[in-house]
Chains A and B, each alone.
Chain A
Amino acid sequence: MIPYGRHRFPGKLFVVEGTDGSGKSTQLMLLYQWLKAEGYPVFLSEWNSSPLVKDTTKRGKKRHLFTPATFSLLHATDFADRTEREIIPPLKAGAVVLADRYIYTAFARDVARGCHRAWVREVYRFAVKPTIAFFFRAPLDVAIDRIVSGRPSLKYYEAGLDMGWAENPEESFTLFQGKILDEYDRMVSEFGLTQIDATRSIEAQQREMRQLISVHLENRRFKSK
Chain B
Amino acid sequence: MSILKTGDSNPNKKRLFYGTPLPDVQDEEYGGKLIVIEGTDGVGRSTHIALLRTWLESRGHAVIDTGMTRSVLAGRGLKEAKTGHTLGRLTMQLFYATDFVDRLENQILPALRSGFIVLTDRYIYSAIARAEVRGMDANWIRSIYEIALIPDAVFYLRIDSAHEVVGRVLASGRGFDYWESGMDVYPGLDFHDSFIQYQTQLLKVFDRMTDEYGFHVLSASTSVRRLSASLRRAIIRVIEGDIETPVTKASRTLKNASAVPDIRDLPRTG
Which A residues form the contact surface with B (CB < 8 A)?
Answer: 1, 3-8, 50-53, 55-56, 59-60, 65-70, 73-74, 76-77, 80-81, 83-85, 113-119, 121-123, 125-126, 129, 131, 190-192, 216
Contacts and interface: CB of A to CB of B under 8 A. Distances in A.
Contacts of B147: 69, 119
Interface stretch (B44-52, B89-97, B149-157): B89-97
A7 B97 CA distance: 24
Given A77-B95, A119-B143, A129 B2 contact: no
B231 to A, nearest CB: 31
Contacts of B20: 116, 119
Contacts of A80: 88, 90-91, 93-94
Interface of B: 1-3, 19-20, 22-24, 72-74, 76-78, 80-81, 84, 86-91, 93-95, 97-98, 101-102, 105, 135-137, 140, 143-144, 146-147, 258, 262-264, 266-270
B136 A125 contact: no
Contacts of B140: 1, 3, 122, 125-126
A69 B22 contact: yes
A122 B4 CA distance: 13
B143 A56 contact: no
A55 B266 contact: no
A4 B262 CA distance: 10
B153 to A, nearest CB: 25
A78 to B, nearest CB: 8
Contacts, number: 145
Contact of A81 (B72, B91, B98, B269): B91
Contacts of A126: 90, 140
14 contacts: A3-B263, A6-B266, A52-B77, A52-B95, A65-B72, A67-B22, A81-B88, A84-B88, A85-B86, A119-B3, A121-B263, A126-B140, A129-B266, A129-B268
B263 A4 contact: yes
A68 B91 CA distance: 19
Contacts of A122: 3, 140, 143-144, 263
A52 B262 CA distance: 30
Contact of B94 (A3, A67, A69, A73): A73
A81 B87 CA distance: 8
A192 B266 CA distance: 12
A4 B266 contact: yes
A156 to B, nearest CB: 15
Contact of A65 (B23, B73, B84): B73
Nearest to A129: B269
